[in-house]
Every structure is written in structure tokens, then in C-alpha cells.
Chains A and B, each alone.
Chain A
Amino acid sequence: MDLSQYNLIWEYMQPELLLLLATILLFFVDLFASPRFLDKWFSGIACLLLAVVTALSCIPGGETNTLFAGMFINTPMTTAMKMVLNIGTILVLLQAHAWINSEACRVRRGEFYELMFFTLFGMYLMISSGHFLIFFIGLETASLPIAALVAFNKRGDKSYESGAKYLFNAVFSSAIFLMGISFIYGISGSLYFEDIAATAATNTALFVVALAFIITGIGFKLSLVPFHLWTADVYQGAPTAITSYLSVISKGAAAFAFIWVLFKTFSPAPEVWQGILYVLIILTITLGNLFAIRQKDLKRFLAFSSISQAGYIMLGVMAYSAQGITALVYYILVYIFSNLAAFGVIATIEHKTGKVNMDDYNGLYKTNPKLSLAMMLAMFSLAGIPPFAGFFSKFFIFASAVHSGYYILVFIALLNTIISLYYYLLVVKAMFINENENPIETIKTGCYGRTGIVVCVAGILLLGLASCVYGYLSELSLTVGF
């Protein structure tokens, strides 16, 4: 291996290597800096490092580059996807600041950031993989640390329970996924995405079973129905920062990776996986909504809402077109801002008062008008009310599916948005209309948390109107090629 090879690796794997560097740097800071310094600056340094990583690697190269004999693929679109995840992670870190620096968690602060960064690295690998083994390594790197994070509050029974549930479910779904991969290897004799697409015979039962198993593996991370059952319990029990991370970043990464797996590996038989997804989407959106209606605990409520959102996200995959990819990435970007705005408010209130029930939010407007406003915007955006970003993202993703001819599916999805509007508005109603004798006292949000929420609100307000974002993604997706 000559020296130019290293140059290439550095050039093509820039996001990954920068992230690793940041992780190592953070590790040493945690190890050697004085506790007082850490109390004051550690979170800031972590956010800053991630921001620097994002800034340095956000200039995507013009073309597709492959490394390690095609196992690792870097395209402008994958870089854009990674940057979307980075932005979301920075927001999560900002919102986690108050909680992670509290008396109880302070000691384990370093672990939190390290684990977070490692999962992010795993997600990068998933997105950039051109080979099923790399993909699987990425998948596991992304999910095992999350199990530790979910069980982060060691003394809280719920957190423990959630961690265990997540771990068992993840292990089980990974096993099925691996089995799927082995079938694929049996059919085509290769684990490269391109080879599989070129050689696999698509009309055999084995192929379909393999496809179903792989969909299960990724569908678990996306929490598609019927692989979603862990979601609500884990979301409820995990620390809120982790819940928000699970609901947007982990889900987003899985969706991005799903695109590449389906579009590259299973491109010879799109109608087969489209048929499966068709049913899964309807189930996911509908069941997610039906369960969300009944929830009283806001974290559980958002868990089901995120299940149904995953169904909408899958519409972009269904479209199987450049437009679909654009719409999907855009949807996730907007979803990150909307959902994190909601979680930011919930995290703030939970941290200060420990209250997470919808009834506790009655009359919140009287005491915390700004938090209520942020929450309201988040709900409006999630429900897709114009002119907020959520409307545009829904519009584009529906448009992409309609473009590919799924009229009935989009119609069902539209009907479901009406149901979702109902429960999103329940939250708004609780805050603004319902009377309450003793509402939650006025809360002063910390500097980090406030920045996080303000950025999210700004995203909700501006992303839809600034058409350049969608235009930029659209240009990138055209380079993908079909």
C-alpha cells in the first residue's frame, strides 16, 4: 500500500475520520482536564467539536468515490445525509446539557458524549457502506451503545428496564438481519450491493425471505409496524435526551441506509419490496396514529407519533426516484427540527419539575408562554400545517409518491394526517385552552437548552420558505443516478 492510498482515505472518509478524531480528542479532554473546567466547558467543547466536524466535511466532493475495493462509498448525497444527522446530534447535545450536567449524571458525562459519538460513527458507516458486512458493523456500532445510553440512569428502574428491552429486541432483530444476509450470500455468492443486484435471481422464495429478513432488521430501527413494539416502552423509560436521539437521529440514519440497501441491492425487483412496504406503511401510519390518540404520557405520545412519522418517511422510499430521495432527506431534516423542538420543551420541563403528563401541561401558556409557543410550532409542523416547514416536507414526500403512481397510498396517508392533527392539537389545547389551578411554575431555561430550542423554532419557520434547501438536495439527488 503506497502513501497515495492514505491520501485517498483521508480525502474520501473525511467525515468519519474527523468524527473519530473528535471522539478521541474528547476522550483526552475528559481524562486530563480539571473537574471544574469540565463542569463549565465540557458540553460546549463537545458541541463545538461536532460543529467543526460538520463544517469541515460539509463540502461534498463532486463525484462518487469508493474505498476498500468498493466496501465504502462516498457520494455527495451520503455526505449531505451525514451532515443532516450531525445537525440533529448537535441539537440533541444542546438540549441534553442541563440534564447531563446535573448532580446525578455529572460523573458519567464523558461516557454520554463518547457513546453518542460512537453511535454516530456507526450510522456514518451504515450510510456509506457498499457491502453488507460493513453495513452490519455500522448497524451494530450504532445500536449497542444506544442500549447503554438508554440504561443511562442506573438507579432509575424504568431506564434499566428500557435498556434491557432495547437490547433484547435489537439482538433479536440483528439475528434475523444476519440470517437474511446469509441467505443473500447463498443466492448470489457475494455481499457487495452491486454484485447482488447484478447476479441474484429475484424470483426465488429464498430471495423473498432474505428480503423480508433484511427489511425486518432495518424496520426494527425505523420502528415500522409490526417491529415497533419496543418503541413506546423504550422511549418512555430512557432519559429524554436519549429518547429524542432515538426518535430522530437513529431513525433518520436507518431511513438513509434503507434507501441505499433497497435502491442498490434490490433494484432488480423493486415491485417486490414496494409491495411489502405498501402494506407496512399503511399499518405503520395507521397503528401509530391509533395508539398515539390514547397516550397521556408525552414521551410515549411522541413515541407513537414518531412511529407514524416513520410511515410517512417510507413514502419517499416507495417513490423509488431521485425526487423520492430528495423528499426523504428533506423530510428528515424538517422532522429533526420539529421533533427536537418538542423534545427540547419536554426535556426542559421534565428536568425542572419531573412532569411529563399531558395533564400537567394544562395552562402552561399562562406561566411559560415562550415554551408553549415553541411546543405549539413543533406540533403544527409535525401535523403539517402551512406555512411551517412540516407542511412543505409532507407536501414534497406526498408529491414524490404520487409521482410514482401511489394515489391510494397517499390518500390513506392524507386521511391519517387528519387523525394526527387531532392528537397534535390535543397538546396545543392542553397548553392554551385547558384551565389549571396550579400550572407548572415559570421555568428559566438554561443557555444551551434555549439555544437548542430557538434553533429548532427557526428551522421550523424558515426551512419551508427557503426553497434553496430543497433545491440543493434535489441537485444532489440527481447525481445518484437510476
Chain B
Amino acid sequence: MEYTLFILVLPLAMFLLLGLLDSKLKPRVAGILGTLGMTVCTALAYLTAFQFFTQPRNAEGIIPSQVPYNFEWLRFTENLHIDLGIYLDPISVMMLVVITTVSLMVHIYSLGYMHGEKGFQRYYAFLSLFSMSMLGLVVATNIFQMYIFWELVGVSSYLLIGFYYTKPAAIAASKKAFIVTRFADLGFLIGILILSFFTKTFDFVTLTTNPTAIITESAGATFLGCSVASWALALIFMGGAGKSAMFPLHIWLPDAMEGPTPVSALIHAATMVVAGVYLVARLFPVYCVTPEVLDLITTVGAVTALYAAIVACVQTDIKRVLAFSTISQIAFMMVALGVASDTDLHTGLGYMASMFHLFTHAMFKALLFLGAGAIIHAVHSNEMSEMGGLRKYMPITHITFLIACLAIAGIPPFSGFFSKDEILTAVMEKSTFWGIWMTAVAGLTAFYMFRLYFRIFWWKDTDCSHHTPHEAPATMTMPLIFLALVTCVAGFIPFGELVSVNGQPYHIHLNWSVAATSIIVAVCAIALAAWLYMKENKKPTAMANATRTLHTAAYRRFYIDEIYLFVTHKIIFGLICRPIAWFDRHIIDGTMDMFAHVTQWTSARIKGLQSGSIQGYVWILLIGTLLIATITICCCL
């Protein structure tokens, strides 16, 4: 399967081509070129998936993973070498399909959505760069390659969030996203270094086939009461938590919505933000040797899920609602990983469920964002108050959006129902407490999604005196329809047969007690949303007034951003940075200035050596030689 290399090379070539030619290409040409490149890439990814999943299983019923390409980039020492390669196993192939599909949809959609924007060519160049980095991340053969592409993904995300670089809010958001994720990546890097220090390898295959090595190698080494192995894995999880916007590192994601909406669909809903989940899944056998870290992941995930769901209920900017919904859904995946273990198929259900939810979520969340993009395109605003009654004007967007909402709410037969049900089953098996907690979050999910849906498409009959909203062009509706179709059928894919914790086929069967509970909760939540938001009325305002404190707090996202600002500005900047800055400016800079002056001064003093006369030159040469000889004789003999 050597052709898999082209899945990476093609987007890179597109990035270079579009980026270097930039405005020399006509916008339309650039867009079509980029989309064509992505189409070929998608076709290759599908071919890879087909060939990979249809190959014969080995004796244990496992689909053998492959390394079609591995290239040693730098060898420092025997153990320390950095390779670049392609590693195909069920989850990386699944990710290839997800990324290329969503990316292709976004490419097509952007032809319409970004039409006429300044920097159209640049936009497509960045999209290609992002696709390349994300694809490189998932097929990484070793953790260091993953880190390289991880950072590249961060850079392209930064570039795309700040695409409208004349807008101060976009610049601030891109900086915030970059700094927060970079901060988390610091943990990631330290984690990588500790892990590889003890295991003497970066390679995923070696790491995951003998995960107990880190325990034995680092036996006895503890730090602050926890074993070093736990620290390493917790730090690696910190990197994942940053990219996947887990509480309390989630603060960048809602702001990242300042970027163009298709970008939000691609990066901040379907692909990049699940990188953290993917990272944990990739190292899952290693995580299983440190159950306390898995417990940490469960807790962080569960808290994040509830927090984000509550905040999503009161936001008024539709993209922010979707952003918090994304955070909450990714937290579901994290929780599912946290409760899983790799002993057998049954206890490893959470792993499969997490990957399944990743897959279905990518599709319907991209659909939601692209739908939101179409709506924003039509009404020129992100605010719910500007919307309402749009179902008559935008029938295609309406139907596809409804399908996505049903999917995320967990209503059968849409894809979200199946994957969410597996997650809830897995959590329930492990701990009833977290099971009930997550079911409640699922109910909240249904509520806020339908609040969003009703506020956009029902609520009031618009008096469109200034302009009539109209359906988006075909380039934008086609991806919507395609993703809606996927959302309708994806639940019936025999996912467990292909991806499971130990590679053996797992037959998905619904746990009806869990499923029935979650359906009832979801339907009730939808009914409540319908009662509140179907028709324009005063009930929501009254409710908000009744719970003013809670409502305001949730609206302000429980003041997490303010806490961050306080900590960074008042404590870090004020108490730590300012004295350091003074020291830097006066002592360190002063020393350096002194060096500079001394250098200049010496340089001026010795320029006489370069007199220009041959006699002088030869004289110095001779003296130099004799001096060398004399001094050496004195020293060595």
C-alpha cells in the first residue's frame, strides 16, 4: 500500500503550489485545484480503507496493522532516532476516512461560502496545509512524528482562525488558541521525553506491544507521590486535553469560532479537536498500565461534559452553542476511553464506543457547522435573536440540520444514537454514578440542540422587511446533503467488527435498558425545548430571570476566562513577570550591551593589524608560527 504516501504528499504539494503562486492564480482556479487535490486524496483514503479492512485476518481474528513506509530522518544515538513514516491500523485508517471526507466537504462548501473573499487562494493553501498536518498526525509511526505534526496542526489552526486578520477579535482568538494549546503541548513534550527516557523508544508499535516496560523500567522512580510513569502519561494527556479543549484548557475553542465557519467545521468540530482523543486511543495499552491516569481522564471528561452542556444551554451565538456542544461531545469520548480497559472485548467496549462516537460525531458536527454557516450566510449574523422561522426559506438546510440535531440528541435510527448508546453502556458498566451523570448530560445535549434548532427555524415568523433569507448555492447544499445521508446510515456500519480494543471483531448489540432510558430522557428534553421555544413567548425570559445568578454565570461561562485573565495578568504578569522584566532589561540587557560595547571597542582597536602592507603580513605570519612553536614546546615538553 505504498500509495498511502500520496495521501500526505498531495495536500503538501497543493499547499506549496497555492501558497507560492497565491494571487497569481485566479481565485476560482485555486479553489478548484485545491478541491481536486483533496478529491484524489479522499479517493486514495477510501481505497486504503477498503484494502485494509478487507484483507484477511490473522489467526486471532485481528486485522494485521501495516507500516508501508518508514524513513529514518535523524539518528542521534542507538535509541534516539526520529523516524517519519506511515502506520496503518484500524483507528488510523478510520481517521484517514474521517479527515479526508470532512475536509473534502469543507473544500467544496468553501467554494460557495468563501466566494469573493479577499485571500481566497491563501485560504485554500491553509486548508491544504491543515489537511496534510492532520493526516500526518494520524498515520504517525512514532510519538515524535505525531508531535511534529501536532504542532503543524496547531500552526495551521492558528493561521485559519486568524484568517480575517484585519479583525481584532480574530487576531486575539488565534493568539489565544495558539498560546493555550502550546501551553498544553509543553506538558505533552515533557511527557514524551519522560516516556521515551524510560522505554528507550518513540515507536508506537514497540510501546504498545510491551506497555509494561515503562513500569518496570521506571520502577521505584516517583515524583510527588505518583510514579513517574503516571506523570508521563498524565502530561501526555495534558497535551491531548489542550487540543481537545478539555476543562480547564477549553477556553480557546469558543473564541476560535472567529474563523470562517467551514474552518470551524473542519478543525474545531470534526478533526483537530479529536486529536487528543486519538492520542489517548493510540497509546491506550500504555494508559491501561496506569489505571489512576485513566480515572483522571474519566473525571476530567465527565466534568467537562457537564460544564460545557450547561454553558451551551444559555449561549445566544449559534456558533458558540455548537462550540460548547463540541467540547461536551469530545468529553463523552474521553470518558468512554477512561472507563475502558484492555483486558478483553467486553471491558474494552468504551474504546470501541469512543472511536465510534468520534466517527459519527465528526460527520454530524461538521454537518451542523456547515448548516450554521449556510444560515449565517443567509442572515449575516451569528445571533439567535436575528433568526427564527427560517424553515420556509431554507428547506434543505432545515432538513439536514434537523437530522444532525436528532443524531446528536441520540434519537434512533440516526448515527449518534448508536455510538452514544455504546458509550453510556460502557460507562454504566464501570460505575453507576458516572453512568447517571453522563445520561443527564445526554439529556442536556438534546435540550440545548433543540433550543438552537427551534430558535433558528421556528420561534417567530420572520418579518423580513429588509431582505429575504434564501437557500445557499449548490456548492454549499451538496456537502450538507451528503453529510446528512452519512448521518442517517453511519449507525448501521458494523463498526465494532473493524475497530475494537484488541483488534478482534466485536459484535455490537444494543443494551435496551440503557438505550430506552436515554431515548426517554432525550425525548423529554426535546419536548421541553419545543414547549419553550417553538413559538415566540415570554417563558424563556421568565425562566432566565427566575434563575438570574445561575443564568448569568453560565452565560459568562462560569467566569473561567476571567479567572484566567486574573491569574495571568494580576498574578503572573504583575508579581512574577514584572520583576523578571526589570532584571532582564537592566541586568541582562546591560551585560549584553556591555559585551557589545567591548566587542565594538576591541574591533576598533585591532583594525590596525590589517595594514595592507605585505611586509607586515608576512612578519605577523612568521611571528605567529614561531610563537606557536615556542609555546607548544614550553607546554608539551
Contact = CB atoms under 8 A, between A and B. Distances in A.
B599 A226 contact: no
Nearest to B604: A294
Given A203-B637, A208-B636, A291-B610, A168 B629 contact: no
A220 interface: yes
Contact of A229 (B607, B620, B626, B632): B620
B623 to A, nearest CB: 8
B628 A212 contact: yes
Contacts of A280: 628
A276 B602 CA distance: 24
B616 interface: yes
B618 interface: yes
Interface in B615-637: 616-618, 620-626, 628-629, 632-633, 635-637
B607 A291 contact: yes
B612 A233 contact: yes
B632 A212 contact: yes
Interface in A418-453: 419
Interface string B594-615: 0000011011101101101010
A227 B620 CA distance: 8
A244 B399 CA distance: 70
Nearest to B606: A290
Contacts of A229: 609-610, 616-617, 620-621
Contacts of A226: 620-621, 623-624
B599 A172 contact: no
Contact of A293 (B72, B600, B609, B632): B600
Given A169-B617, A290-B599, A291-B607, A176 B74 contact: no
A210 B260 CA distance: 73
Given A208-B636, A294-B607, A165 B628 contact: no
B223 interface: no
B73 interface: yes
A169 B636 contact: no
Contacts of A176: 621-622, 625
B277 to A, nearest CB: 31
A319 B154 CA distance: 39
A227 B624 contact: yes
Nearest to A470: B74
A232 interface: yes
A216 interface: yes
A268 B257 CA distance: 69
A293 B599 contact: yes
A208 B632 contact: yes
A169 B600 CA distance: 29
Given A216-B621, A220-B621, A226-B624, A419 B74 contact: no
A290 B72 CA distance: 40
Q: Which one of B599, B616, B621 has the greatest number of beta carbons of chain A within 10 Å?
A: B621
Given A208-B629, A227-B624, A275-B636, A293 B614 contact: no
Contact of A276 (B72, B599, B614, B628): B628
A169 B614 contact: yes
A283 to B, nearest CB: 9
A209 B627 CA distance: 10
Nearest to B632: A208
Given A212-B632, A275-B635, A227 B621 contact: yes
A168 B624 CA distance: 17
Q: What band does the interface of chain B fall in when counting residues whose beta carbon is under 8 Å from A?
A: 20 to 34
A53 to B, nearest CB: 32
A401 interface: no
A293 B603 contact: yes
A272 interface: yes
B328 to A, nearest CB: 39
A164 B614 contact: yes
A467 B72 contact: yes
Say what secondary structure dominates the interface of chain A: helix
Nearest to B629: A212
Nearest to B82: A467
Contacts of B74: 467
A205 interface: yes
A272 B632 contact: yes
Interface string A270-284: 011001100110000
A11 to B, nearest CB: 33
A65 B636 CA distance: 36
A263 interface: no
A293 B606 CA distance: 12
Contacts of A419: 599
Interface string A170-204: 00110010000000000000000000000000011
A212 B72 contact: no
A205 B621 contact: no
Nearest to B605: A290
A291 B600 CA distance: 9
A157 to B, nearest CB: 13
Interface string A207-224: 011011101100010000
Nearest to B621: A227
A293 B596 CA distance: 11
Contacts of A290: 599, 602-603, 606
B603 A291 contact: yes
Nearest to A212: B629
A232 B610 CA distance: 8
Interface string B270-303: 0000000000000000000000000000000000
Nearest to A230: B617
Interface string B575-604: 000000000000000000000000110111
Query: Which of A205, A212, A279: most chain B CB closer than 10 A?
Result: A212
A467 B636 CA distance: 41
B516 to A, nearest CB: 58
Of B72, B74, B603, the most chain A CB neighbours within 10 A belong to B603
A282 to B, nearest CB: 13
A169 B620 CA distance: 11
A168 B615 CA distance: 9
A275 B607 contact: no
A385 interface: no
Nearest to B636: A272
A287 interface: yes
A166 B478 CA distance: 75
Contacts of B633: 205, 208-209
Kindly list the 8 A-B residue pairs having the minimum CB-CB distance in the complex, ordered from nearest: A226-B624, A212-B629, A229-B617, A290-B603, A216-B625, A212-B628, A209-B629, A208-B632
Interface of B: 72-75, 599-600, 602-604, 606-607, 609-610, 612, 614, 616-618, 620-626, 628-629, 632-633, 635-637
20 contacts: A169-B617, A169-B618, A172-B621, A172-B622, A205-B637, A208-B629, A212-B625, A212-B628, A213-B625, A226-B620, A226-B624, A232-B610, A233-B610, A233-B612, A271-B636, A276-B628, A291-B603, A293-B603, A294-B604, A467-B74
Given A173-B621, A271-B636, A467-B72, 4 more contacts: A176-B622, A176-B625, A213-B625, A215-B628
